[in-house]
Amino acid sequence: MRNRRPPFEIVVLALVLAAACGGTAPAPTSAPLSILVTNDDGIEAPGIAALAEALRPLGTVTVAAPRDPRSGASHGVTSDRPIAVLESERQGLTWFAIDALPATCVRLALEKLLPERPDLVVSGINWGENLGTVTFYSATVGAAREAAFLGIPAIAVNLAGRKGTGYEAAAAVTADIVRALGPNGIAKGTFLNVNLPDLPKGSIRGVRITRQDTRAPIDLFEKSVTPEGTTEYKPSWKHLEPAGGDTDIWAVRNGFVSVSVFGIDQSAAAAPAAALSLKRLEKLSWR
């Protein structure tokens, strides 16, 4: 992807002209992609296996993920010790189990483990949603952001449901999104945060390009005292209810796939034009 991407302004202009003329944008290329898959739930999580299998028809897939679950680590890095790596082959794919946080797994794979940098990094499928400001805590999002630091297109993928039964459907939808975007669909300096409702593929209502809901999450702390007299607080949290039809939370709660454009430049909001190149995703349908 990195050597074939035209200037983003040209992509936007082409889409605008196509819309103005009543036509459609050129179909994305079908050339094979080199894809790195990672996650934060650990290399044995069912979501990463489903994702790697669904992306396999699109090109060459390599998996590099934490050896153990590392959920909630945000963009933390492992820098205080040597990092153990175990390489194996599973169903014809190379898998690296890495004793490190997700962002470091991505950086290590890009710098040392892969023979060349991939066209795309996909992080997930995370067990549970990463919507609104919760994304700041997410190591699934952090892993995708790490790839974006190096100019590699990246997508974080999350299954919004605690049952964790819809990985195959979520993986199939993710593969459709990658196909629809092609090699030029993610603007430089941005990456995508995708949240899918835990529904059968045919029941998903479509795709919405959304903004991040910026309300604070609802965190709860239940106080208790142990028999020894120690005061403890058990942390928990609640889902936010939808507020605003253009937000990521509203989209998922209403049966849509939410695709949000995140920027790595935190000094300014992501360019509104970035979302324009993704409008083609709203034409996807599984009904």
pLDDT given at position 269: 53
The total number of structural domains in the chain stands at 1
Give the confidence band of 274 by pLDDT, cuts at 50, 70, 90: low
pLDDT given at position 23: 36
Quick check: 158 and 40 in contact, CB under 8 A?
no
Q: Please check whether residue 37 lies inside any domain of the structure.
A: yes
Question: Tens digit of pLDDT for each residue in 43-67?
Answer: 999 999 999 999 999 999 999 999 9
Mean of pLDDT over the chain: 87
Tokens of 213: 């809901």
Instruction: List the single range of 43-57, 83-97, 174-188 with lowest mean pLDDT.
Output: 174-188
pLDDT at 136 over 50: yes
Q: Please check whether residue 65 lies inside any domain of the structure.
A: yes
Helices (H), the chain: 8-20, 46-55, 102-108, 139-149, 167-181, 248-253, 272-276
Q: Please check whether residue 221 lies inside any domain of the structure.
A: yes
Tokens of 264: 């790595």
Range of the domain at 245: 33-283
Residue 174, classed as helix, strand or coil, is helix
Rounded-to-integer distance, Cα 144 and Cα 120, Å: 10
Quick check: 166 and 202 in contact, CB under 8 A?
no
Q: Please check whether residue 140 lies inside any domain of the structure.
A: yes
CATH code: domain of residue 233: 3.40.1210.10
Q: Please check whether residue 104 lies inside any domain of the structure.
A: yes
Q: pTM above the 0.75 mark?
A: yes
Rounded-to-integer distance, Cα 96 and Cα 105, Å: 9
Instruction: List the single range of 24-33, 58-67, 212-221, 260-269 with lowest mean pLDDT.
Output: 24-33
Q: Please check whether residue 27 lies inside any domain of the structure.
A: no
